[in-house]
């Protein structure tokens, strides 16, 4: 396990250096390798004792890899109808749904917890969307509705993990991973729709994203497999 974890960390660091200095095709290859490494880490953690919950989380990591590829094909202008962007949003949304399903399978279904998470998530997503769209004047273009729906899924999942972690601390690693993922996507929205695509923003976006995915992978062994 340590070797896979080290590979995931080192490949992420290498990708960050390449992307910030060079980008292009070399950066795209380095990104794919880094994403493959967090999937491999998840598969390694699952190998210790496969479960339905662990498999769902691994499916989520694979979807994250696919989302990386889709978003890496083309960086769209916010106002353009870009199917790579929509495909990336949809794939990452499916990743989070898969991870939520994994947590539910492992911890047990709680309707009250799910309803609270959705209600709070709707408020969080609404506040963020209105702030970026109406106050900061982000140019979402045709991506406005998909972005708002994705924000709702992100926020609801985060709240659900927090509530689950309060009941069972083993799930704290997923909650922290989701917090990093959420921060990464907020920064990405500034880059794509707020025209704030700077090296610093890119570094924060990529660092928090890969850290979140690595924590998701590690959670397979810590929380989802007895």
pLDDT of residue 80: 46
Q: Are 214 and 39 spatial neighbours (Cβ–Cβ below 8 Å)?
A: no
Task: With residue 140 as reference, give the H or E element that holds it.
Answer: none
Q: Which one-letter DSSP state was computed for residue 78?
A: T
Instruction: Name, in order, each residue with C-beta under 8 angstroms of 211's C-beta and a sequence gap of 6 or more.
Output: 12, 177, 180
Which tens digit of pLDDT belongs to each residue from 94-127? 999 999 999 999 999 999 999 999 999 999 999 9
pLDDT of residue 224: 58
Tell me, yes or no, whether 4 lies in a domain: no
Tell me, yes or no, whether 44 lies in a domain: no
Tell me, yes or no, whether 3 lies in a domain: no
From residue 226, how far is each of 32, 51, 105 by CA, in Å? 31, 9, 12
The encoded tokens of residue 86 equal: 């929509």
Tell me, yes or no, whether 109 lies in a domain: yes
Tell me, yes or no, whether 8 lies in a domain: no
Of the given ranges (10-14, 67-71, 103-107, 222-226), which has the lowest mean pLDDT?
222-226
Closest CA to 185 of 142, 143, 221: 143
Instruction: Name, in order, each residue with C-beta under 8 angstroms of 217's C-beta and a sequence gap of 6 or more.
Output: 8, 38, 39, 41, 42, 45, 61
Rg of the chain in Å (alpha carbons): 17
Name the domain count of the chain: 1
User: Dihedral sign, CA of 167, 116, 212, 105?
Assistant: positive
The encoded tokens of residue 94 equal: 């499916």
Closest CA to 69 of 103, 29, 96: 29
Tell me, yes or no, whether 95 lies in a domain: yes
Closest CA to 131 of 123, 142, 121: 123
Residue ranges making up the domain that contains 91: 50-222
Q: Are 157 and 196 spatial neighbours (Cβ–Cβ below 8 Å)?
A: no
CA 202 to chain centre: 15
For 106-140, give one letter per residue: b (16+ CB within 10 A) or e.
bbeeeeebbeebbebbeebbeebbeebbeeeebeb
Tell me, yes or no, whether 14 lies in a domain: no
Tell me, yes or no, whether 27 lies in a domain: no
Which tens digit of pLDDT belongs to each residue from 157-203? 999 999 999 998 889 999 999 999 999 999 999 998 888 888 899 99
pLDDT of residue 223: 53
């Amino acid at each position: 396990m340590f070797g896979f974890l080290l590979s995931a960390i080192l490949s992420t660091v290498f990708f960050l250096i390449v992307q910030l200095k060079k980008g292009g095709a070399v950066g795209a290859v380095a990104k794919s390798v880094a994403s493959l490494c967090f999937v491999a880490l998840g598969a390694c953690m699952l190998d210790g004792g496969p479960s339905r919950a662990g498999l769902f989380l691994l499916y989520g990591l694979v979807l994250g890899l696919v989302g990386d590829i889709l978003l890496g094909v083309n960086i769209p202008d916010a106002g353009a109808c870009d199917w790579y962007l929509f495909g990336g949003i949809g794939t990452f949304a499916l990743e989070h749904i898969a991870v939520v399903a994994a947590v539910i399978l492992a911890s047990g279904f709680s309707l009250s917890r799910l309803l609270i998470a959705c209600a709070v998530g709707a408020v969080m997503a609404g506040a963020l969307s209105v702030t970026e769209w109406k106050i900061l004047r982000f140019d979402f273009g045709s991506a406005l509705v998909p972005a708002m729906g994705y924000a709702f899924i992100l926020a609801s999942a985060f709240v659900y993990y927090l509530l689950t972690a309060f009941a069972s601390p083993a799930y704290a690693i997923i909650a922290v991973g989701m917090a990093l993922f959420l921060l990464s996507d907020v920064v990405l929205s500034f880059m794509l729709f707020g025209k704030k695509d700077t090296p610093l923003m890119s570094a924060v976006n990529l660092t928090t994203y890969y850290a979140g995915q690595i924590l998701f992978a590690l959670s397979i062994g810590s929380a989802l497999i007895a």
